[in-house]
Amino acid sequence: MIGERILQARKAAGLTLAELGTQLGITHTAIQKFEQGRLTPNSTQLLALAKACGIRTEYFFRTNTVELINPEFRKRVRFGKTAQEKVLIRATEQAERRVKLLGLYPIPPIEPFTVPKALPHKIGNYEQIEEFSEALRNAWLLGMDQISDLCDTLETHGIFVLVIDEENTAFDGLMATALADDGSIYPLIAVSKQWPADRQRFTLAHELGHLMLSGRLGEELDEEKACNRFAGSFLAPKPAVIQTLGQQRSELEWHELYTLKHEYGLSMAGWLIRAKQCSVITKNVYESHFIRFSKKGWRTREPGEPLAQEQPKFFQQLVFRALGESLITESAAAALLGIPLMTLFRQRQLEPEDDAAHQ
């Protein structure tokens, strides 16, 4: 087991056998023997391995195992198999911590994920996705207003939401099923930490579309296009689009789109598309606006202050709840959160870390 963990940690850190061996001052052959289980690292070497790979030593001894079934990445030509494996290992490690935490509760703190029964079973055209996303919003009691915290919305409905700190900008999103060794199953969606919040939110909604639309689309529909339509309509439903922009418009103001971006967490470009999809503007008006939008260079970087990134908070909340109910020790809580014990102490006392560091 330790050997497999060392292998996973090295790959997740993006290190070769030789690079890791150099950091530890041993040969790459010795690292290989560690990974194959032919040689056992001593405590000093384990500490050095953990430091080099950017993890805590308890990772090597964790017994909970999770397998990611049917992983699907958002298509990127430059994101090859090696890069995908690296992200999968990081996602698996985060999923294991979540499974371990949930197993500590005598009564599960969240309901298992289920697809609402009220959703339409068959979708024959892209326009019907508007009804589908509204049906999901109603089933989840979200109404037609903005979703202020999309991560929390997904997590409270039994979906693991992960933010992966991956430098490779070709990574956008991942959807998989996390299968725990006790047979528990959890849908999992991961997004990159590198992207702005509006892109993260769109990716989360897009991957939710894959999960919810599975087996419902007509053969003539392209699944990626369908999931993009779902993502836009889930973040900015048609009733909200018409209420905010009006039934029909011949022009849209950039500041309108900027304000709506910050209200609904959907990009300015996304709002342009939604205006066309909801027939608020014609195709010609949309194309005219989009040409001007592109000439301003906003397709690469939209103007003004970026949205604050969302962070999955539900897992952290459950860790502190388990701590408060004496289900875990402080050291176990720190290990689950992947932070030093002193950082946990400061968080429990609501101490500013910067101030504490200078005391």
Predicted confidence (pLDDT) at residue 64 exceeds the cutoff of 70: no
Cα–Cα distance for residue pair 290/299, rounded to 1 Å: 9
Query: What would the mean pLDDT of 63-67 be, rounded to a whole number?
Result: 78
User: Do 324 and 279 share a domain, yes or no?
Assistant: no
Cα–Cα distance for residue pair 274/279, rounded to 1 Å: 8
Give the CATH number, domain containing residue 41: 1.10.260.40
Are the C-beta atoms of 56 and 88 separated by less than 8 Å? no
Predicted confidence (pLDDT) at residue 355 exceeds the cutoff of 80: no
Cα distances from 327 to residues 101, 107, 321, 322, 331, in angstroms, run 10, 12, 9, 5, 12
Q: Which of 61, 82, 98 is the last residue of a domain?
A: 61
219 band by pLDDT with thresholds 50, 70 and 90: very high
SS3 helix, strand, coil % of the chain, rounded to 5?
A: 55, 10, 40
54-68, 152-166, 255-269: range with lowest mean pLDDT: 54-68
Q: Which domain holds residue 191?
A: 65-308
- 188 secondary structure, DSSP code: E
Higher pLDDT, 234 or 357: 234
Tell me the backbone φ, ψ of residue 21, rounded to 5 degrees: -60, -40
Predicted confidence (pLDDT) at residue 356 exceeds the cutoff of 50: no
The rounded mean pLDDT for the chain is 91
User: Do 269 and 179 share a domain, yes or no?
Assistant: yes
User: Do 130 and 225 share a domain, yes or no?
Assistant: yes
User: Do 282 and 228 share a domain, yes or no?
Assistant: yes
Cα–Cα distance for residue pair 344/355, rounded to 1 Å: 15
Predicted confidence (pLDDT) at residue 318 exceeds the cutoff of 60: yes
Predicted confidence (pLDDT) at residue 357 exceeds the cutoff of 60: no
Q: How many structural domains compose the chain?
A: 3
Q: Residue 200: enclosing H or E segment and its boundaries?
A: helix 197-213
CA 55 to chain centre: 20
Tell me the backbone φ, ψ of residue 27, rounded to 5 degrees: -75, 160
User: Do 125 and 202 share a domain, yes or no?
Assistant: yes
Q: For residue 131, which of 277, 233, 264 has the smallest C-alpha distance?
A: 233
Q: Which of 14, 30, 61 is the last residue of a domain?
A: 61
Cα–Cα distance for residue pair 286/130, rounded to 1 Å: 19
Q: Which of 20, 46, 61 is the last residue of a domain?
A: 61
User: Do 56 and 195 share a domain, yes or no?
Assistant: no
User: Do 86 and 227 share a domain, yes or no?
Assistant: yes
Cα distances from 178 to residues 113, 193, 248, 251, 259, in angstroms, run 12, 20, 45, 46, 37
Cα–Cα distance for residue pair 87/191, rounded to 1 Å: 10
76 band by pLDDT with thresholds 50, 70 and 90: low
Please list the residues that pair with 359 across neighbouring strands.
none
User: Do 175 and 251 share a domain, yes or no?
Assistant: yes
N-term to C-term CA, the chain:
41
pLDDT of residue 359: 34
Predicted confidence (pLDDT) at residue 358 exceeds the cutoff of 50: no
pLDDT of residue 256: 96
Q: Residue 187: enclosing H or E segment and its boundaries?
A: strand 185-192
pTM over cut 0.75? yes
Task: Select the highest-mean-pLDDT range: 72-81, 121-130, 177-186.
Answer: 121-130
SS3 177: strand
In the structure, how many helices (H) and strands (E) does the chain have? 17, 4
Q: For residue 302, which of 262, 336, 351 has the smallest C-alpha distance?
A: 262
User: Do 220 and 348 share a domain, yes or no?
Assistant: no
Give the CATH number, domain containing residue 218: 1.10.10.2910
pLDDT (tens digit, 9 = 90+) per residue, 78-93? 778 888 888 998 899 8
User: Do 46 and 74 share a domain, yes or no?
Assistant: no
Query: What would the mean pLDDT of 60-84 be, rounded to a whole number?
Result: 80
pLDDT (tens digit, 9 = 90+) per residue, 239-263? 999 999 999 999 999 999 999 999 9
Predicted confidence (pLDDT) at residue 126 exceeds the cutoff of 60: yes
User: Do 328 and 255 share a domain, yes or no?
Assistant: no
Alpha-carbon torsion 334, 339, 343, 346, what sign? negative
User: Do 92 and 8 share a domain, yes or no?
Assistant: no
pLDDT (tens digit, 9 = 90+) per residue, 135-153? 999 999 999 999 999 999 9
